[in-house]
Amino acid sequence: MSKLRALWQASVNSTKKALAWNVEDWIPPTEKYIFSFNSKQEVKKWHLYSDSEYGGMSTASLEITETGNELRGIFSGKLSLDVNENSKWNIKRSGFCGMRSKKFDGFINLDLYDSIALRLKGDGRCYISTDKRKIIHGKHLF
Q: Is 56 helix (H, G, I), strand (E, B) or coil?
A: strand
pLDDT in tens, 3-59: 788 888 888 887 777 676 666 666 767 888 888 888 888 888 899 999 998 889 999
* Confidence tier at 136 by pLDDT (50, 70, 90): low
Q: What is the pLDDT of residue 135?
A: 59
Q: State the first-to-last Cα distance of the chain, in angstroms, to the nearest integer.
A: 17
pLDDT in tens, 50-102: 999 888 999 999 999 888 888 889 999 899 998 888 888 888 888 899 998 88
Query: Which residue spans within 44-130 are E strands per DSSP?
Result: 46-50, 59-67, 70-78, 97-101
Q: What is the pLDDT of residue 48?
A: 94
How do beta strands 59-67 and 139-141 pair?
A: unpaired
Give the chain's largest Cα–Cα span. Answer: 65
